[in-house]
Amino acid sequence: MATMAMKGKVCVTGAGGFIGSWLVKLLLSRDYIVHGTVREPKVIEPAVKGTHNVLEACVEAKVKRVVVVSSVAAVFSNPSWPRSRVMDESCWSDMEHCRASKDWYFLAKTEAESEALAFGKRRGLDVVTICPTLVIGPVLQPTVNASTLALLRILKEGCESMENRPRTLVDVRDVAEALILLYEKREAEGRYICTAHSIETRELVDALKSKYPDYSYPKKLSEWKAEPISLSSEKLQRLGWKYRALEETLADAVQSFQDAGMLE
C-alpha cells in the first residue's frame, strides 16, 4: 500500500484481492480517497520486479510511506534458527536454502521484501513491511484465493486423509487493520509479523464440526512429523494492533462462503 498524503489519497495495489478488497473497504469507511490497481496473474517475477517498479514510482510521486505486504514465507524457512526460539522480525528465510529446496514462492517473497527494505534505505523512501501468516475470514471478492481454498478444502472435499499440521492463522480484517495502523503510526518502522492463532488441523476441524456438523470433513488426520514453529506478533501489538477471536473469524468466513455459494 503506497501512501500519497496523510489522511488523503492512498494507492492500493492488488485492490481486488482477498486482503486488498478488505483494505479498500476499511479505507473508504475512514474517508480516504482510494486508487486501486489490479494484480498481475503471475507469481514469482512480479514479486521482485513488480515491487521494485512500484517503489520507483513511489519515489517519483514523492510518496510519504509505503506499506509492503510480504508473507510469513519470508520468515520461517530458516533451518539455522533454533527450534526452541520464537521467530520474530529478526528471522529471515534463508534464500540459499529456499533455492536448494526449490521453494520458489518462499524465495520470491524473501527477495521482494528484503529488496523493498533495502530500496527504502538507499532512496530515502519510508518503507514498512508486514508478514501475515495464513489469512482466513469472510470474502468480499468473487474469486477463491489460496488461503480461502485451504479452509474450503476442510469443509467440503471430504478427503480420505489430511495432515494434522500446525497452522498459524490471522483474520483478513485484522490484516487490513494492521496495514492501516502501519500506515498511520509515525513510529512504525522495519518489518512486522502479523499472526493471531496457532492451531493444529484437528483442532480446526473440531471447531468447525461443532458448529457446522453437516459438511464433508476429512475422514482421517495423519500425524505431522515436523516440529511446530512459534511466531510472535508482539512488535505489531505494541503499536496497538488487536485481533479477534478465532470463533468469530470462522463463523464469519463460513457465512460468507454460504452466501457466495462456495459450499454448494
Q: Which residues are catalytic?
A: 109
- Asked whether 112 and 125 are in contact (CB, 8 A), the reply is no
- Asked whether 235 and 89 are in contact (CB, 8 A), the reply is yes
Contacts with 99 (C-beta within 8 Å, 6 or more apart), sequence order? 107
Q: Which residues pair with 170 in a beta bridge?
A: 135
Whole-angstrom Cα Rg for the chain: 19
- Asked whether 185 and 6 are in contact (CB, 8 A), the reply is no
Q: How far apart are CA 131 and CA 30, in angstroms?
A: 24
Contacts with 234 (C-beta within 8 Å, 6 or more apart), sequence order? 88
Alpha-helical runs (H) found in the chain? 18-29, 44-45, 51-60, 95-100, 104-123, 146-156, 172-184, 201-211, 234-238, 246-259
- Helices and strands of the chain, counted as H and E runs: 10, 11
The angle, 0 to 180 degrees and rounded to 10, between the axes of the packed helices 172-184 and 18-29 is 60
